[in-house]
Structure 1
Amino acid sequence: MAQRINCFERIKSFDNGNACPPNANLILQALTSKRCIDGFNLERLETIGDSFLKFTTSLFLFYKYPDLNVGDLVILKDKQVQNYNLWKKALEKNIPEFIMFEQFSASKWFSTVFTSNEEYIQEIDDKSIADCIEALIGAYLISYGPVGAIMFMKWLGLNVTPQNYINLNSIHWLPKKNLSSKYNFDENEKLNSLYVNGRLFDFEESIGYSFKDKSHIVKAFTHSSYYDNTITGCYQRLEFLGDAVLDYLITRYIFEDKKEFNPGELTDLRQALVNNSYFGCLAVKYCFHKYLKYLSCTGMGIIDAFDKKFKSNEKEIIYGHFLLINENETEQSEDVEVPKILGDIFESVAGAIYLDSGFSLDAVWKVYYPLIKSELEYFSENVPLHPIRMLYEADEKTKFE
C-alpha cells in the first residue's frame, strides 16, 4: 500500500507542459514496466501509442514533403520512430526518473514522499525507456484524443506538425492545405481518359466512395512501370500514407474491442491483420487488381496465377498463413506467395481516400471495415499465434541464441 501511494505521489509531479493535466491512472500504467509484475503495465498502451506515432509521423512527412520519393520518406520516418530517438527525447525531459521498472523489493524500497535525502537508482535499458514513451503517447491518445496526444508529442520534441502550430479546436492537427493537383486543359483531358478507360467509376461504385479529385484514384492504381500515365505519377507515396492509416485504424479497433485483448494477443492480431500478404489477399478478393495499370507481362502473369489459386483456396490462403490445421493446409500455405504489388494497391487506395476526404479516418474506415470485417471477427475469436511465440510457449525452456 505504501509503495502504491508513493507511486501516485511521484506521478503527480509528472508535468508535460500541456494545458490538460494527465490522467494519473493511465500515466502510472504507461510508466510501469512488465518487470514490476504488478496488476497492470505499459504494454497495451505501448501498442496503440506505437501505431499512432507511426501514423502521425508518416502523415506529417507526406504533408511536409510533397515531392519527396517514398524511399526518403521511409528513412525520415524510421529516424523519428526508432527507439534511439525516443530514448533521447525521454532523457531530455527526465522521464526515466518516473519509470517503475523493477519488481517491488522491501529491502530496496524507500518512500520519496517521506524521504528526501536518499536516492534509489534504477538501471533501465534504452528500449524500455522508448517503450514508455510510446505508452505515454497511447495514454494521452486514450484520455484526450488525437490532439491531446499530438500536444504531448510536440512537448517531447517529435516532429508531427509544423513548428509552433497546432489547432486545438479541430479534430485534425495540420494546417489546411490544398493537396489536390492542378492540371491544365490537356492534362485534365488525359486524366479523364485514364479514369474512364480504366473504368474506375466501377471501382468507386463497388467500394461505395466517389472521389472528389479523380487524380487520387488514378494515381492509386498506377504502377511505376505504367509510362502512359504522365499526369499523376505512381502510387508509392499513397501506399506509404495508406499503410500508416490502415495500421492505426486496425490497431485502434482491436485495442478498443470489448474483449480487452492482453498485450500478446494484441500483438498477434496486429501482425495477422496489418501485413502486406493479408492486404494482398483482400485486394484479390475484392478485385482491386482488375484496375491496376501495370506494364509487365511477367508481373501480370504472377498476379493472374495468384488470382486463380486464391479463388480455389480462399479460406486456406487467408487463414492458412496464421492458423494451420493439418499437413495439407501447411503444404498449400507454403506454396502460396502473395505478390507484393497487390498489398501495395490495397494500401494506396486507403491513402487516396484519406487524402481525398480531407484527412478523414472515418471515411477510410467506412470503406475498409466491410472489407476486413469477416477476418476481424474470425481472428478476434481465434487469436493467431506467431510461429516463434507458439514454439516458445510450447516449451518455455527453449532458448534462442
Structure 2
Amino acid sequence: MCLYHRYPAASAGALTVEKAKQISNENLYRIAVKQRLKSYLNVMKINFRGKDANWIPPAYVINETSQLKTDGEPVDLKDYSTQYVKRKAFADMIEAFIGAFLISTDYTITMQFMKWLSIDVIPLDKNNHIMEVPSILCSYSTNDEIRPIVGKFYKEQAFDDIEKIINYNFKNKAYLIAAFTHPSSFANRLTNCYERLEFLGDAVLDFLATRHIFITDTKITPGRVTDIRQDLSNNGRLAYILVAYRLHTKILHNSPDLFGKIQMYAGDNEV
C-alpha cells in the first residue's frame, strides 16, 4: 500500500521490483545488522553438559588461557562464543518477528514496528503526514469536473450490474471502472487500467489468505500454508470465480488475443 501511495506514476512492474527489494533476504539481513538484532538469533540447541556443551551462565566469562576439559578432551572456546549461520536465517528471524507482533498486538503497532525496522509501510510525506491516495483518473481535471463524465460512462457500460452481483456500491465509481479496464482498452479514457490495482489487490489477497489459514489451523506447517495460499489465490481459481458470476462480460478491452482466450475459457460470445 505504501509503494502504491509513494509512487503514483510507477507501473505495476516497477512497483513489483521495488517491493521485491524491500522484502528480499539480503535487505532483511541488513536490517537485522543495522538494528543490532543479529546477536539475539539462537541457531544451535543449547547444551548444558558434556562435550557438546555450548552455554555458560550470564555474567560468566571463559578465560582463553585456561585448560578446560570435558571428558578428558580440551574444550573449543568457540563453541561458547560463536555460531555459524546463513544470512537467510536472519531474514527469517525478521519475518518471524513481524509475525509475532501481528499476532500479539494489532495492525497499527505492527506497522510502527516495521517502520522502526526501516521497512517502508507507512506512506508519510516530508511533513510526516499520511500521503493522499493517488488519483485513479487519467485526466488532470478536478473531481467535480470529471465526476459527471465518470457517472455517464458507468451507466453506459452498465457497471451497476457488477455492484448488484457483489452486493457493494462504490463511492468512487472510477475505481470500479479501472478495475475492469484492460491495458488495450480504447473505450475508457477516464481512468488508468487495472494493473496498479492488481498489484495492490494481489498483496491484499495474499495477506488475507495467509491470515485465514494461520488462524483456522494452528497446527499447520509453513510449507502447507504456502501450498494452500497459492491454491486459493492462483489465476485459475480467480478466473473461474470471475466467469461463474459472468463478470468477464464487463471487461473493457480491444485485444483480439484476449477475446479469443476469454471466449475459449468461458465458452460464450459475450466478451
Tell me the TM-score normalised to structure 2 length: 0.82
CA RMSD, 1 decimal: 2.5
Secondary structure at the residue paired with 1:256? helix
Separation in 1 of the partners of 2:90 and 2:221? Answer: 21
When residues 72 and 108 of structure 1 are mapped into structure 2, their CA distance, relative to the original with a 3 A threshold, is: same
**What is the Cα deviation at residue 179 of structure 1?**
4.4
Separation in 2 of the partners of 1:112 and 1:269? Answer: 43
232, 235, 238: which is aligned to 1:273? 232
**What whole-Å deviation, never above 9, does each CA across 1:240-267 have from its counterpart, x for those lacking one?**
0000011111111111105532223212
Q: Does 1:201 align with 2:168?
A: no
**What is the Cα deviation at residue 65 of structure 1?**
1.5
111, 123, 135: which is aligned to 2:84? 123
When residues 111 and 300 of structure 1 are mapped into structure 2, their CA distance, relative to the original with a 3 A threshold, is: same
Q: Does 1:300 align with 2:259?
A: yes
Gaps of 5+ in 1: 1-58, 168-173, 310-401
When residues 100 and 299 of structure 1 are mapped into structure 2, their CA distance, relative to the original with a 3 A threshold, is: same
Q: Does 1:113 align with 2:68?
A: no
Residue matched to 1:97: 39
Residue matched to 1:148: 109
Separation in 1 of the partners of 2:25 and 2:242? Answer: 33
Secondary structure at the residue paired with 2:249? helix
**What whole-Å deviation, never above 9, does each CA across 1:4-61 have from its counterpart, x for those lacking one?**
xxxxxxxxxxxxxxxxxxxxxxxxxxxxxxxxxxxxxxxxxxxxxxxxxxxxxxx000
Separation in 1 of the partners of 2:125 and 2:37? Answer: 23
Residue matched to 2:25: 83
225, 241, 260: which is aligned to 2:219? 260
Separation in 2 of the partners of 1:112 and 1:132? Answer: 24
213, 235, 239: which is aligned to 2:172? 213
Separation in 2 of the partners of 1:112 and 1:198? Answer: 73
Residue matched to 1:53: none
**What is the Cα deviation at residue 194 of structure 1?**
2.4
AA aligned to 1:177 is E
Asked if the contact 2:5–2:133 (Cα under 8 Å) also holds between the matched residues in 1, the reply is no
Residue matched to 1:348: none
Gaps of 5+ in 2: 63-76
Q: If you compute each CA radius of gyration, which structure gives the higher value, 1 or 2?
A: 2
AA aligned to 2:40 is F
**What whole-Å deviation, never above 9, does each CA across 1:59-116 have from its counterpart, x for those lacking one?**
0000112222112111111110111100111111222211121234442321342524
**What whole-Å deviation, never above 9, does each CA across 1:282-306 have from its counterpart, x for those lacking one?**
2222222111001112311211111
**What whole-Å deviation, never above 9, does each CA across 1:137-195 have from its counterpart, x for those lacking one?**
00011111112211221111111124599x9xxxxxx826354554464x444422321
Residue matched to 1:64: 6
List aligned pairs for 1:241-390, cutoff 5 A. Answer: 241-258=200-217, 260-308=219-267
Asked if the contact 2:185–2:254 (Cα under 8 Å) also holds between the matched residues in 1, the reply is yes
When residues 163 and 116 of structure 1 are mapped into structure 2, their CA distance, relative to the original with a 3 A threshold, is: farther
Separation in 2 of the partners of 1:144 and 1:207? Answer: 32
When residues 164 and 131 of structure 1 are mapped into structure 2, their CA distance, relative to the original with a 3 A threshold, is: farther
Residue matched to 2:93: 132
**What whole-Å deviation, never above 9, does each CA across 1:117-137 have from its counterpart, x for those lacking one?**
475211111111101110100
Residue matched to 1:177: 132
Residue matched to 2:193: 234
When residues 209 and 112 of structure 1 are mapped into structure 2, their CA distance, relative to the original with a 3 A threshold, is: farther
Secondary structure at the residue paired with 2:219? coil
AA aligned to 1:79 is K
- 4+ residue segments displaced more than 3 Å: 103-106, 116-119, 162-165, 178-185, 187-190
Separation in 1 of the partners of 2:200 and 2:133? Answer: 17
When residues 64 and 108 of structure 1 are mapped into structure 2, their CA distance, relative to the original with a 3 A threshold, is: same
**Size of the alignment, in residue pairs?**
244
List aligned pairs for 1:10-49, cutoff 5 A. Answer: none
Tell me the TM-score normalised to structure 1 length: 0.56
Residue matched to 1:158: 119
Separation in 2 of the partners of 1:112 and 1:241? Answer: 49
When residues 259 and 125 of structure 1 are mapped into structure 2, their CA distance, relative to the original with a 3 A threshold, is: closer
